Amino acid sequence: MKVSFKDLGLVNTREMFAKAVKGGYAIPAFNFNNMEQLQAIIQASAETRSPVILQVSKGARNYANQTLLRYMAQGAVEYAKELGWKKPQIVLHLDHGDSYEVCKSCVDFGFSSVMIDASSLPYEENVKLTRKVVNYAHKYDVTVEAELGVLAGVEDEVASEVSHYTKPEEVIDFVKKTKCDSLAISIGTSHGAYKFTPEQCTRDPKTGKLVPPPLAFDVLKAIEKKLPGFPIVLHGSSSVPQEYVDMCNQYGGNLPNAIGIPEEQLRKAAKSAVCKINIDSDSRLAMTGAIRKHFAEFPGHFDPRQYLKPAREEMKKMYTHKIINVLGSNGKAR
Ligand SMILES: [Zn+2]
C-alpha cells in the first residue's frame, strides 16, 4: 500500500530550500538511527523553530529497519506538535539512495525527499538514473537530491579514497537534463570523523593543533554563477568538535587525529546557495563522549536510561548550537 508523505504531516524540501537560498541560511540534515537521537533532533528543532531534515542512510536502514524508522519519523511530527511547535517543518529524506528501486520504495513508503547518488557512475549514466528517479518521485511531489563529483571518506557504505571536485561546467547540463531539485557537490568536505590526514593539514604554531585545508569556495562560486538560486547541498560537514574527541579520548577512547570542517567555513557556506548541510559524525561523537564519561563516573550504573539521558542532552546541545550558531535556521519555521 502506498502512503503519501503529506498524510504523515511531513513536507518536501522545495519551499524550504527556496526560502533558505533567499534568506542566506541552511537547513540542518541530521542522520538518525535510534530514539534518543531522534528525540534530541526534534527537541532542538522544535525549541528553535528550525526546519529540519531527518536523514535515513543505508546503514540506518540495515541497523534499525526502514519500516521502524519511517514510523519513528511519523511519530516525530506528532511529538514536535506536543512540544508546542504548531506547524512542524520536518522532511524525511533518504540519504545516498543507490538504486532506482530503493528510491521508489521510499517514495511509496512516505519519504518526502530522496537522494539518488549515482555520482560514482560515468556522467551520462548518472544523468539517466537521476532522471528516472526524478520522473517517478515528482509524480508524488517528492523532491530529489542528486550528486555530481565525488567526496572522499567513509560514511556507512559510501566510501571513496579520493575526492573529485564537482566540475562547474557540467552543472547546467546536469540540472537541465535530470530536473533534480537540489545538487550535492564536492568542494572538499568528506564523510566520517577523519576528514583529512595530518599530512593534508597544517599546524597552528600556537596550539599545535591540526588545521584542515580550506573548502574550495572558488568552485562553489563558479557553480552558483552557473545556477543562480539553485539549491546546493554539502555532505560530510561535521566539525568533529575537539571537546567531544577529547571527551572520548579522556575516558578510554582512541580517536587520534579526528578532524572535521571548521564551523566558520560552514557558516560562510550557509550564507551562499548551500541550503542543506549534512551532519552525522558530530552526533556520534557527542553521544559516545557523553556515554564514556558517564560510564567512567558511574561504574555501578547499568540502566541504559542512566547513560542515554546525558547522551541525549549532549546531542541536543550540539544540534541546537549548529542550528543557531552555524546554519542560522532558527526561527525559520514558526
Ligand atoms: Zn553523504
Please give the Cα distance from 177 to 193 (Å, whole number).
35
Q: For residue 25, how many other CB atoms are within 10 A of its CB?
A: 24
Distance CA 278, CA 267 (A): 13
Cβ neighbours of residue 129 closer than 8 Å, sequence gap 6 or more = 100, 116, 118, 121
Closest CA relative to residue 13, chosen from 125, 91, 98, 101: 91
Q: Is residue 197 part of a domain?
A: yes
* Rounded-to-integer distance, Cα 70 and Cα 51, Å: 18
Distance between Cα 278 and ligand 1 center (Å): 7
Domain assignment present for residue 333? The answer is no
Centroid of ligand 1 to alpha carbon of 283 (angstroms): 15
The pLDDT-based confidence of 257 (bands split at 50, 70, 90) is confident
User: So what's the pLDDT on residue 162?
Assistant: 63
Least confident segment among 2-11, 12-21, 92-101, 199-208: 199-208
In a domain, 15, yes or no: yes
Distance between CA atoms of residues 46 and 40, nearest Å: 10
Give me the percent of the chain exceeding a pLDDT of 90. Answer: 88
For the chain, the domain total comes to 1
Q: In the annotation, is 95 catalytic?
A: yes
Average pLDDT over residues 305-321: 98
Task: Evaluate whether residue 189 is within a structural domain.
Answer: yes
- Considering the domain boundaries, does residue 57 fall inside one? yes
Ligand 1 centroid to residue 304 C-alpha, Å:
30
In a domain, 130, yes or no: yes
Reported confidence tier of residue 157, pLDDT bands at 50, 70, 90 = low
Mean pLDDT of 119-140: 97
Q: Give the pLDDT confidence score for residue 153 in this predicted structure.
A: 65
Greater pLDDT, 161 or 168: 168
Q: How many angstroms separate the Cα of 286 from the Cα of each of 47, 77, 129, 239?
A: 19, 24, 37, 12
- Residue scoring higher pLDDT (154 or 26): 26
Residue 239 domain-assigned (yes or no): yes
DSSP string across 297-314: H-TT---HHHHHHHHHHH
**Residue in 130, 128, 107, 104 with CA at minimum distance from that of residue 117:** 130
Under 8 Å CB-to-CB from 93, ≥6 apart: which residues? 13, 29, 53, 54, 55, 56, 111, 112, 113, 114, 115, 145
Cα 155 to middle of ligand 1, angstroms: 7
Return the CATH number at 205.
3.20.20.70
pLDDT at 123: 95
Domain that holds residue 148: 5-327
CA quadruple 24, 30, 35, 40: dihedral sign: negative
Whether 332 maps to a domain, the answer reads no
Examine the pLDDT at 182 and tell me if it is beyond 90: yes
Find which of 1-10, 162-171, 291-300 is predicted with most confidence, using mean pLDDT: 291-300
- Give the distance (Å) from ligand 1 centre to CA of residue 157: 10
Per-residue pLDDT tens digits for 114-125: 999 999 999 999
Confidence category of residue 155, pLDDT binned at 50, 70, 90: low
Across the range 267-290, mean pLDDT stands at 97
| Percent of all residues in the chain with a pLDDT value above 70, rounded to a whole number | 96
Q: How far apart are CA 324 and CA 332, in angstroms?
A: 11
Quick check: 1 pLDDT over 90?
no
How far is the C-alpha of 101 from the C-alpha of 60, rounded, in Å? 17
Distance 60 CA to ligand 1 centre (A): 13
Residue whose C-alpha cell reads 526502514 in the numeric block: 66
The rounded mean pLDDT for the chain is: 95
Give me 56's grid cell.
535515513
Looking at per-residue pLDDT, the higher value among 155 and 308 belongs to 308
Of 95, 117, 280, 282, the catalytic one is 95
Q: How far apart (Å, rounded) are the C-alpha atoms in residues 141 and 150? A: 28
DSSP string, 261-310: --HHHHHHHHTTTEEEEEE-HHHHHHHHHHHHHHHHH-TT---HHHHHHH
Q: How many angstroms separate the first and last alpha carbons of the chain?
A: 33
pTM of the predicted protein model: 0.95
Residue 301 CA, ligand 1 centroid: distance in Å: 36
Q: What residues have CB less than 8 Å from 272, skipping those under 6 apart?
A: 24, 220, 221, 224, 232
- The per-residue pLDDT for range 24-44, each reduced to its tens digit, is 999 999 999 999 999 999 999
> Could you give the 3-state DSSP secondary structure of residue 60?
helix
